[in-house]
Chains A and B, each alone.
Chain A
Amino acid sequence: MSPSLVDQMLSTPLFAIELGWAEWLAKVLGVLAVVILPAGGTVYLYLFKMVSFMQSRLGPMEAGPYGSMQLLAEVGKNLQKEDIFPAKADRTVFAFAPYVVLASTFLLAAVIPFGPEAGFASLDTGNFDSTQFDGVGVFFALAVSSISVIGILMAGWGSASKYSLMGGLRAAGQLIAYELPLVLAVVGVVIQAGTLSLQGIVYSQINGEIFGFGGIGLPYILTQFVGFFIFMIAVQAELAQTPFDMPIAESELVTGYLTEYTGFRFLVFFIAEFASAAVFAFLASVLFLGGWAIPPFVMDILGIDEFSNWFNLIGPAVMATKMLLLTFVVYWVRFTFPRFREDQLQRFAWKILIPLSLVNIFVTGVLKVAF
């Protein structure tokens, strides 16, 4: 890469620090955008509009064109509601629970690459001249995604309500059960890419070949389709979306661990839920759909290579497209299937998904050594 204007600026020490602060601020705002914009976008597109068309109704139509300002109305409504603490609640635990869940989402969003250099906190040690990436990206992402369970347990216990406690316990049991297939499904991708770094996984998909044909690279959905399938099911369960919405089963538990929450704290839980859906979709598109890259033959036509600065610009747009595609599937499934029973849900994780993902790891390992 040739020394750009930015590099020359960076070589001046004092300015580097000024730029460092600006970059730091830009990254914080960027993470906020990555968490909140997809959450709002998918809520409006899918939760408000798509489900309405699936159920032969119009959905919100009054606020703005096609009801597109409805989200602002909902946020405003939640912000002016009273912040109610239940009389017997453990106030501190009750108050902090939503932020623990949201923190998990932010930590997850922080490691996702949106371009060769467009990321927030890359945990990679590779440089851009070589494709020998090393780091703990995907491992860190899976680790921090499990923190949200603690927030949900805090909410369930701190509310001092039987519905909340039951919902919290169900959620924790479900999240523990589906954490395993989530991690094991990714192992196949890691074996094939030979690295834990998310950036490295993207580059190995660009440089991959299908029987000598490198025109579209090798998106791992083609070889790891079992892993992709397990990953998306586990994500659906981790997010407690409908076939797996036992923790907030409204006909039995009011809304589970959310029962006692109102106003802003409810809004934080709501944002965390839908932002996690989007961030997990980002993660799935990095792991299985080639991340921020476009097919190599298109790169050839455009005359750019995979290290081009253009990817810092078009990468986020490519990622957003893939995210919308995957979240569409998540909500499509959500509004199509009926709810699992608790025992069916646990049996599905422990007796089907985990053995299947172990077989997938074994087969991937054998094929990796054979080829």
Chain B
Amino acid sequence: MANLLLLGQQTGNSWDLPANIAFYVIAVIAIGSALRMVTTNNVVHSALYLLLVLSSVAAVYILLGAEFVAATQVLVYIGAILVLLIFGVMLTRARIGIDDDLNYEQRWIGLGVSSLLFVVIAYSLWDFYGSDTRLVGYEPQRTREVADSIFSTYIVPFEAISVLLLAALIGAVVVARRD
């Protein structure tokens, strides 16, 4: 084990061995729980598998040095969206055990669409990066640089998304109000 780690350290920035091992472990967890998420017959279990998928994605962000994005992933997707999802599911149909009516008739079309998407994304990544797919030792990205690029280079998309979110917020209030 010590020799293995030494190898990872000696090769330095060119090939970060522990990060690569960690990536494959995380990838297996992510893919496995994504498959279970769509095949499980219990809607709360499905939501909890989604938790594993989203956490794995956050872990991959940390491996890539994008710590700000990783923390945002945890705060927004796990802390807010997933909690609301589980909350809603439990309020409406929190049945323990197997649900029989979870299988949707159009699932074969869904399978086709997602396979097509997978092929397109995989091909474009393969085409761009070739066989150079190993993780190198990434320096953590500076939050200051993230802030600079959001509020200077990408200020227009940022403002557009802000207005869109505000409109959605007001829309939600209007829909939810009874009077």
Interface size class of chain B, counting residues whose CB lies under 8 Å from the partner chain: 35 or more
Q: In the complex, A136→B73 CA distance in Å?
A: 13
A93 sits at the interface (CB 8 A): yes
Residues of chain B contacted by A134 (CB below 8 angstroms): 142-144
CB within 8 Å for A147 and B79 given contacts A153-B87, A168-B90: yes
B160 sits at the interface (CB 8 A): no
Q: Are A157 and B143 in contact (CB under 8 A)?
A: no
Q: Are B71 and A147 in contact (CB under 8 A)?
A: no
Q: Are B83 and A146 in contact (CB under 8 A)?
A: yes
Residues of chain B contacted by A169 (CB below 8 angstroms): 87, 90-91
A268 sits at the interface (CB 8 A): no
Per DSSP, chain B at the interface is helix
Q: Are A13 and B6 in contact (CB under 8 A)?
A: yes
B1-24 interface code vs A (CB 8 A; 1 in, 0 out): 010011001100000000000000
Residues of chain A contacted by B84 (CB below 8 angstroms): 176
Q: In the complex, A147→B67 CA distance in Å?
A: 17
CB within 8 Å for A146 and B80 given contacts A134-B142, A169-B87: yes
Q: Are B83 and A172 in contact (CB under 8 A)?
A: yes
B116-141 interface code vs A (CB 8 A; 1 in, 0 out): 00000000000000000000000110
- Our pick among A21, A142, A179, A196 for the contact of B143 (Cβ within 8 Å) is A196
B27 sits at the interface (CB 8 A): no
CB within 8 Å for A150 and B78 given contacts A157-B90, A169-B90, A172-B87: yes
A26 sits at the interface (CB 8 A): no
Q: Are A149 and B79 in contact (CB under 8 A)?
A: yes
Residues of chain A contacted by B82 (CB below 8 angstroms): 150
Residues of chain B contacted by A324 (CB below 8 angstroms): none
Q: In the complex, A173→B68 CA distance in Å?
A: 27
A174 to B: closest C-beta gap in Å: 11
Q: Are B142 and A89 in contact (CB under 8 A)?
A: no
A18 sits at the interface (CB 8 A): yes
Residues of chain A contacted by B97 (CB below 8 angstroms): 90
Q: Are B10 and A13 in contact (CB under 8 A)?
A: yes
- Our pick among B6, B9, B44, B68 for the contact of A136 (Cβ within 8 Å) is B68
A123 sits at the interface (CB 8 A): yes
- Residues of chain A having any CB pair with chain B under 8 Å: 13-14, 16-18, 20-21, 88-90, 93, 123, 125, 134-136, 139-140, 142-144, 146-147, 149-150, 153-154, 156-158, 160, 165, 168-169, 172-173, 175-176, 179, 183, 195-196
Give 4 new A-B contacts, CB below 8 A, not counting A88-B96, A134-B143.
A136-B70, A150-B51, A157-B90, A169-B87
Can you name 28 A-B pairs with beta carbons within 8 Å?
Answer: A13-B9, A17-B5, A17-B6, A93-B48, A125-B139, A134-B143, A135-B140, A136-B70, A136-B71, A139-B75, A142-B75, A143-B71, A143-B74, A143-B75, A143-B78, A144-B74, A146-B74, A146-B75, A146-B79, A156-B90, A157-B44, A165-B90, A165-B94, A168-B90, A169-B87, A169-B91, A172-B86, A175-B83
